[in-house]
Each structure stands twice: as structure tokens, then as C-alpha cells.
Amino acid sequence: MSSTYLVALGSNRRHHRHGAPEGVVRAAMEECAALGTVTARSRVIASAPLGAARRRFANAALVLDSALAPTALLAALKRMERAFGRRRGRRWGDRVLDCDIILWSGGAWRSGARADGLAIPHPHFAQRRFVLAPAREVAPRWRDPESGLALAQAHARLTRPRPLPR
């Protein structure tokens, strides 16, 4: 049985073969085809560093139809990160490639109580413009199973102008 996933990709370090972070993200999007059928790809956007990272990121999203279960897909994405040169290290630091499952056609998923377990929807995606902007391009009507908001609505809420405090 096939499931559909929304996968976010990001990079802020050069790769010896794929070059700048934008090239790394584009190459990773191509590699995802080995995990199923990529039915939609966003454009690659630039975003500001987050946390301890010092370099700007390149970010994108794709929709993937795959026979893999959520935990198997996550394991395959982590193997792909390692193949691109990602090393374990400081959380929120610079990285050659970061891949996350944001949503899937099966609704909410939790793979255990551990902090490093898989959680779908991704726990922080609704607060991250660099995830929502590309995701909205490829799946604007997909809904967060917890809030009920479509990705286009979540992006609008995150980016709408707010009045200055008095």
C-alpha cells in the first residue's frame, strides 16, 4: 500500500560534488526518486540561519508517493543525509543535508516517547517560514491533522503583518 508524504529538505554547507547548498538540495530531490515517485517539487528558496548555524540555508519541499512506512522512510532519508556527508554533531548547527517528514496521508503519527522518535506532523513546521513557503507551493490544500489548517492557511497566519505593541 502506498502513502503520500510531504518532505522538507535543507542545506547550508557545500558538497564536494553538488557544490553550493542549492545544488545539494536539488541533488537530494533527485535522490528521493529512489524512495518512491516524486509527484511535486517546490523551487529552492534561501533562508536565514537558524540556531547555532552560521550560514544561510537553501530549502525546498517535495511530495513523495512511497510504499515505505513512515519509520522506514525516515531511516532511508537519514541514510541519504549520511551519504551526502552529514555527520552527527551539534543540534541546529551547519549541515550538508537535512531531510524531514512534515506530513503524510495517514494523519498523525508518533513512533514512541523518545525525543528523537518520529513525529508527524513535524512538531515545529507551523512556526517555520522556510518549511511552510516551499510546502505551500507543492501542497497548499494539505491539512495539519492537529490544527486542521491547510498549509496555505498556516503560511498566511505565520506571515501576516501584525500591529506593533503599544
**Cβ neighbours of residue 102 closer than 8 Å, sequence gap 6 or more:** 5, 6, 7, 8, 61, 120, 121, 122, 125, 131, 135
Please identify which residue in the block is written with the cell numbers 498549509: 151
Using one digit for the tens of pLDDT, what is the confidence trace for 136-165?
A: 999 998 998 888 988 888 888 878 877 777
- Locate all alpha helices (DSSP H) within the chain, ordered by sequence: 21-31, 70-83, 129-138, 151-159
pLDDT attached to residue 124: 78
Which pLDDT value is given to residue 119? Answer: 80
Cα(94)–Cα(24) distance, integer angstroms = 13
Tens digits of residue pLDDT in 70-110? 999 999 999 999 898 876 665 656 678 999 999 999 888 88
